[in-house]
Amino acid sequence: MQKIKLSVIIPAYNEEENIKKGAVDKVFSYLEKQNYSWEIVFVDDGSKDNTVALLESISKKDSRLKVIKNPHQGKAATVTTGMLSAKGEIVLFTDMDQATPLDQIDRFFPMFERGFDIVIGSRQGRKGAPFIRKLMAFGFVMLRTLFLRLPFSDTQIGFKAFTNKAAQDVFRNLIIFGKQGLIKQPAVKAGFDLEFLYVARKRGFKIKEVPVEWSYQGTKRVSAIRDGFDSLKDIIKIRWHSSLGEYNEN
């Protein structure tokens, strides 16, 4: 059985519009041109529109496309499901809207060859994002630096890749986002990225941040007040669990 080099994990929640705009076609057409083996794993987060039907129809065209159906638990649980199910030597999760085009993975491969376990994308300037988003980002950087000492300029972009070994280890050792219950809102939790990056550093994995292309796509899933408050709570929770020695080191 041929080894899979790259697994692409795409979380989906009510993505009918993006799918009809050709987001999946862009991902598939790029991968078809590559000379390495790959798979795409779509993980649906209990969508209420035609997302699942559209994805299942697309997946019938190629065995390398897979669809996993989750109950609605939020992006953290959705991404985690995909990461732990991946078969590839390298596992990337990316957003359906392709705010960062999949071809940016080409910038990551050399970093893995140099021995890094995790490679994360970094946006430069967040061109096109509204002022409130940029202000939120600035405040978030200050808080995560103060409390968690994460040495990255951008922890929140939806374009991050792991060796399979690192993915299995990190996502099985989350505490706050390790067990998600059913929720009633889209719940794009900023704290999720912070926790898995914090866990990865605690467990000794080598992380490299790489600049990537990014364009603001617009989203109804971000609330400045709700998400800002939730992020602060998650930062404090991560710090608390760490002070109790609950994030085991390798």
pTM of this structure: 0.88
Residue-wise pLDDT for 168-224, tens only, equals 999 999 999 886 666 655 556 778 999 999 999 999 999 999 999 998 765 555 555
Query: Which of 3.30.1130.10, 2.40.70.10, 3.90.550.10, 3.90.700.10 is the CATH number of 6-243?
Result: 3.90.550.10
Residue 110 reports pLDDT greater than 70: yes
User: Quick one: pLDDT band at residue 127, thresholds 50, 70, 90?
Assistant: low
E-assigned strand segments in 71-158: 90-94, 118-122
Among 61, 41, 54, 67, which residue's Cα sits nearest to residue 14? 54
Residue-wise pLDDT for 32-76, tens only, equals 999 999 999 999 999 999 999 999 999 998 999 999 999 999 999
Least confident of 107-121, 128-142, 191-205: 128-142
